[in-house]
A and B are shown apart, each in its own frame.
Chain A
Amino acid sequence: MTRMDARSEVVRRERWAAPRAALRWLTTPHVALSLVLLAVLAIFVIAPIVNIVVDTFTWQSGDTRFDRSAVAGEFTLFHWTRVFAGPLTRRILVEPLLNSILTALGATAVALFIGTGLAWLLVRTDLPFKRVLAPLAFVPYIMPSYTLALAWLTLFKNQRYGAPGVFEYLTGIAIPDWFAYGPIPIMIVLGLHYFPFVYLLAANALLSVDRSLEECGEVLGASQWLVLRRITLPVILPALLSGFVLCFARVIGNFGTPYFLGAPIGFMTLPTQIFSNLGMRFNGVAYILVLILITISALAVLVNQRLIGVRRSFATITGKGFVTKQVRLGWWKVPALALIGGTMFFAAILPFGLFGIQSVMSRLGVYSVEHLTSAFWLSSGETITEGRPGVLVSPVILRALWNTLRLGIAAGAVAAVLGTLIGYASVKGRGTPLAKALEQVAFLPYLVPSLAFGTLYLALFIGGFGPIPSLYGTFALLVLACTFRNLPFAARTGHATMMQVSGEMEEAAQTLGAGWFYRMRRIIFPLVVKGMVAGFTFVFVTSVRELSLIITLVTPETMTLTAMTLRFEELLLVQFSNAITVLLIAVTLVTVFILNRLGGRFGAQRSPV
């Protein structure tokens, strides 16, 4: 080989070095997987958001009502002017925005108080009946969020809104408007619905606090309360702040509760305002409000990251300490149990019982035996049911039940698989920009409130997008929305699971010559099945009880039980909506019970957030 040959060989190698490295990089399984997943997320997460941003700057089809010369698709600043600088700015932006922030803050405070208190009592004290109470704590989260709102109205509505509620019926005491409708009940009801969320975070934080820190305090003679106040609380504060912010971002997008409890006094929040604007086909305006909601959630999460970043330097979480000693409650057990029992009663048992009773009453507001009826469950149609067959025999409702179940199963399955793949790709590529990008994009749906998410999907997929045909009115659209809306949870679960799965076994198999698919099938998957069941359970539960997300997407054929409830509520066939809610909760509880049997206890996994 001459010198010339050697040099050209080097040149050739250099020339091909970069492409070869790129090819090698691209064919690395987790890189290829990351890229594919990113492409999928680009279509189902990023494109919907970009799409409505564009829509806010262009005339929409119904806009000729504002301006006869409007041509759909042409550029305009009209929607932005209408929202930010028009005579209606106060009504469609400022008031709903302030109301949303106010109720979300209040509800989050309620959730934080109950959730943290419950976590402390169940993790750190010698409270009896813990094994019963711990799973019960999730029941409010399993029920549709508006269930409690409807229960509240049933209990506390006053004559302003027709027949007095049960409370006034029994006691004769008239409830003032401020307690019956508007911000106060919205905060309480949403707080009671979302506290399990905080409970999960707080319980995990408490479990991971190094117990020796507290023991130090005790040894030095500090009382139990002093230890709690000066050591335990500061240590779990980052987790609590995080819980506060994450819960806030969730609550602010809730539609059903403010819709039912705010309407009687005209109390509007951003989600209800979005719903009204969509109903009138003022889409440009609705989309801007959606973007504002997304921005608020994004800001909250950003603040969360900042706070945690700051607090972490102070916190001394050093992995799991073994809890050796529990706080003795002594006589405090009684009020503690009463408090928990009371919360559970109001958040779970009362609504369920109330709805059950109401669904067999022929006349509402008159609770006597002669008004008992099974018409709303079993009849083939009577005057009091407006000729509609009962819940258990109505083909329409049974179809909605079937839709609900298959929606939960399909979304749960797809999300669990996607979440696991994302977890795998991001853990394998830990630290690389690609893995970070994947994690962040997968988290993005968390910032989009449910109602807004549904709106995004309707706007993008109604007319077909790229290779995807029009998904309007299809069941697939519901599944996609529920899957990607809940992907952050599934992805977090997947990530946590993959972190737990040791890389050594996979490497050993690799050394022995096992291919990627083989390793995935024989090693990773069996290890992660448990995590997948947890992810599946979570997405299943949130999907079957979902209203905000799917209310803009359902059509008569794809109607689900929750959407059906809203419809009957509007027709004042309250017994029907109550019966359907009872059916929904019962079916969900049974399913969760079965899933728990299959894959360990619900919540046994690390918190999905």
Chain B
Amino acid sequence: MRRVFVLALMVVALIGMVASQASARDLDQRTDEWLQQAKLEPYAEPTLYELALQEGEVTVYSYTSRIHDVGRMFMERFPGITAHTYDMDSPEIINRVLEEQRAGQYRADLIWLKDPPTAYFEMYEPGIIHNWVPPHVAHLIPDELKEPLMRIHHASLSAWFYNTEVYDESPVTNLWDLTTTEWRGRVVLPDIVLLTEYIATFGSIVYHADEMEQAYVRRFGEGLELSRGIENAGWEWIYRVLRNDPLIVRTTHEVTEVVGEPGQTSPSVGLSAFSRLRDLERWPDRRFGVAWEMVDPVFAFLHTNVHGFVRFAPNPNAAKLFLTFQMGDDYDFTGNKPYQVLGNWLVRPDGPVPEGAPPLAEIDYWDFDVEWVWDHYVQIVDFWTLHRP
């Protein structure tokens, strides 16, 4: 009997052991399922950095030379990923990417350029570039600044510059001043064929033809008579400025050089990017300033710039990591710092604001309609080609 009891006990113990083993296994399995669901180790999805590390490098084409600083800082922050950064003009970026697509050789992973009309209609719509918004900032940025293509600063401005050595304040206050004989040969304009972002600028002058006409009346006290074959006051202004022997230059640097070179007697005024104020660091002798008094009918012109992830590019994750860093990641604003300069307004509302920068809302500027500019793109270029000196 005792034997039977012991045996039974052993059987029960055995069953218990097996059962407890089973329930331990069951617990392990449930834990495992939970870990998978919770995406904790060992099921944690690789971070962007880990994915990027597998790619090992990233190639960025950017319209600004500051990209090299960003690239250097990026490599310090994320060891193991080599950033190849290239600065070139927007038309060159477009040409290169289109050529790379045609050739089937995909070099650029991420591009950042001005000239949104071309970026949208020749690259985004045909599927050559794609959008991606860094998740950590998505909720901070209004849709129009991240759709269809992501921006870092939603605005950089171009305005008129004058020589501060000769003039205490801007010698020009109305855009039509530039068409007078006083400014003949003394207006500096960027070449829109080379700096295509200015196609939108001159487009916005045509777009705001009515305001241009009113400004004319305010300047000369009489109605504007259009030249033969010219449609409206916007085109008329461009026509008259181009007929006034302007100096047309290849870069915005040259504008501040020509305007701000010291020792001039009758210096020019010129249209250039706000951020060219930085040129004063490189050339401290130069004397130029923004013509804040040039307000009729408008003070400044807006440029935007967009990012694109290039189709078939080999390093999409490293490119995402690069953009995340460039936007100022959730750690700090390091990668964003090069863009925190006077004349840029960043899309991140929580970022630092450069000293002395007025809120964009307080500035009188003309925006442009991407689709309108695209529809008039060739017309503006042709008009320029036809009437430029």
A residues in contact (CB < 8 Å) with B = 61-62, 64-66, 87-88, 91-92, 159-164, 263-266, 276, 278-281, 363, 365-366, 383-384, 386-388, 458, 462-464, 470, 472-473, 555-557, 570-572
Contact = CB atoms under 8 A, between A and B. Distances in A.
Interface in B227-252: 247-251
Contact of B281 (A65, A265, A383, A470): A383
Given A164-B263, A557-B107, 5 more contacts: A65-B377, A88-B382, A160-B185, A162-B261, A279-B95
A384 B251 CA distance: 18
A363 B283 contact: yes
A449 to B, nearest CB: 21
B27 to A, nearest CB: 57
Contact of B385 (A62, A91, A160, A462): A91
**Residue from A162, A383, A386 with most neighbouring chain B CB atoms (10 Å):** A162
7 contacts: A62-B98, A65-B377, A87-B382, A88-B382, A162-B258, A365-B261, A462-B99
Lowest 6 A-B CB distances belong to which pairs? A472-B103, A470-B103, A162-B257, A162-B258, A572-B253, A266-B389
B102 A463 contact: yes
Contact of A384 (B88, B261, B282, B385): B282
A556 B86 CA distance: 7
Contact of A571 (B107, B193, B251, B264): B251
Interface in B254-283: 254, 257-258, 261, 263-264, 281-283
Contacts of B389: 265-266
A462 B96 CA distance: 11
A263 B189 CA distance: 13
Nearest to B374: A65
Contacts of A163: 257, 261
A161 B247 contact: yes
A264 B247 contact: yes
Contact of A473 (B105, B251, B258): B105
Contacts of A470: 103-105
A63 to B, nearest CB: 10
B377 A88 contact: no
Nearest to A281: B95
Contacts of A557: 107
B122 interface: yes
A279 B88 CA distance: 12
Given A264-B247, A570-B250, A363 B69 contact: no
A473 B61 CA distance: 15
Interface of B: 65, 68-69, 84, 86, 88, 91-92, 94-96, 98-100, 102-105, 107, 122, 185, 193-194, 196, 247-251, 253-254, 257-258, 261, 263-264, 281-283, 285, 377-378, 381-382, 385-386, 388-389
Contacts of A570: 250-251
A572 B185 CA distance: 22
A162 B194 CA distance: 20
A571 B253 CA distance: 7
Nearest to A163: B261
Nearest to B283: A363
A279 B193 contact: yes
Contacts of B104: 463-464, 470
Contacts of B283: 363
A351 B282 CA distance: 25
Given A263-B250, A473-B100, A363 B285 contact: yes
B96 A555 contact: yes
Contacts of B100: 472-473
A462 B261 CA distance: 43
A571 B122 contact: no
Nearest to A87: B386
B257 A279 contact: no
A73 to B, nearest CB: 13
Given A66-B378, A470-B105, A571 B65 contact: yes
A160 B96 CA distance: 34
Contact of B103 (A366, A383, A463, A556): A463
Contacts of B98: 61-62, 281
A570 B86 CA distance: 15
A473 B59 CA distance: 15
A65 B102 CA distance: 19
Contacts of A64: 122
Contacts of B69: 387
B20 to A, nearest CB: 65
B303 to A, nearest CB: 18
A472 B99 contact: yes
Contact of B193 (A162, A280, A363): A280
Contacts of B99: 458, 462, 472-473
Contacts of A388: 68
A388 B65 CA distance: 10
Nearest to B389: A266
A280 B91 contact: yes
Nearest to A572: B253
A265 to B, nearest CB: 7
A407 to B, nearest CB: 19
Nearest to B108: A556
Contacts of A383: 281-282
A558 B41 CA distance: 45
Contacts of B91: 279-281
Nearest to A67: B378
Contact of B251 (A386, A458, A472, A572): A572
B122 A572 contact: no
Nearest to A86: B382
Contacts of A66: 378
Contacts of B281: 383
A92 B264 CA distance: 35
A592 to B, nearest CB: 32
Nearest to B118: A65
Nearest to A82: B382
Nearest to B85: A556
Contacts of B96: 555
A329 B160 CA distance: 62
A571 B92 CA distance: 14
B103 A462 contact: yes
A163 B260 CA distance: 9
A572 B254 contact: yes
Contacts of A159: 261, 264
Contacts of A266: 248, 388-389
Contact of B282 (A365, A386, A556): A386
Contacts of B388: 266
Contacts of B261: 159, 162-163, 365
B194 A279 contact: yes
A115 to B, nearest CB: 33
A159 B258 CA distance: 7
**Residue from A276, A556, A571 with most neighbouring chain B CB atoms (10 Å):** A556
Given A65-B378, A263-B250, A571-B253, A88 B103 contact: no
A556 B67 CA distance: 15
A66 B261 CA distance: 40
Nearest to A463: B102
Nearest to B264: A159
A488 B172 CA distance: 57
Given A62-B122, A470-B103, A387 B378 contact: no
Contacts of B86: 556
Contacts of A160: 185, 247, 258
A366 B284 CA distance: 13
A462 B282 CA distance: 39
A154 to B, nearest CB: 14
A91 B185 CA distance: 20
